[in-house]
Copies of this chain bind each other. A is one copy, B any other.
Amino acid sequence: MAVFRRRGFARTSIRDLAEATGLHPGSLYQAYGSKEGLFAAAVTTYNELVVEHRVRTHLDEAEPPLRGIDTFFASTFDDDGDDDSAADGPNPGCLLTNTAVEAHLLPGTSRDGVAAGLNLIEQGFQRVLERARQAGQINPTAATDQLAAQLLALYQGVLVLVRFGAPTTKLAAIVAHAVPAIIASGHHAEGST
């Protein structure tokens, strides 16, 4: 899973995967049927182990709710993220983002996995925005589904820049301003009505 995250599907060979898993090619084929099957399983596992965990930690359990959004973004480029990010070398970004740009060249199972992962994130954004609303942190009439979609787009963009190695200070500034701007647009637009 980590190897796919760093190298992408096309550049990761079965031999790379054999080495990373400690299993030999025959076993991998026995278990997953093909390289694509293995990849789809890796995406699913990534969603379960990484995405769900991050969504739960930062979006479902953080207090105050809006603080969780900040840390969700910041943890993509801080060194306190998931295990893979702590490893030496360039930040691997997010398997979903890295895969999204090549997903149309993969079978539908991998694409469905990416879609599921993106949906986890978007729904997580929406839930935390609902919590923020109930906590009086944002306007009661803010369209949280719309805000969640916007945050997802921004999040993907930040991940691209993270992956490309943009300076951490720049990323932090982007997040510090753009996230509140988007969230506040619920306030602002309604406030001026």
A133 within 8 A of B: no
A157, CB-defined interface residue at 8 Å: yes
Interface centre among A10, A105, A160, by most chain B C-beta atoms within 10 angstroms, is A160
Q: With a CB–CB cut-off of 8 A, which chain B residues contact A152?
A: 157, 161
B-chain residues with CB within 8 Å of residue A67 when the two chains form the complex? none
Q: Is the interface of A mostly helix, strand, loop or mixed?
A: helix
A50 at the interface (CB under 8 A from B): no
8 Å CB interface, A145-163 against B? 146, 149-150, 152-161, 163
Chain A residues within 8 Å of chain B by Cβ, number: 44
Contacts of A8 in B (CB 8 A): 8, 10, 101-102, 105
A149-B173 in contact given A104-B90, A154-B178, A182-B182 (Cβ < 8 Å): yes
| A173 near B156: Cβ-Cβ < 8 Å | no
Q: Is residue A20 contacting chain B, with contact meaning CB distance below 8 A?
A: no
Question: Which residues of chain B come closer than 8 Å to A59, judged between CB atoms?
Answer: none
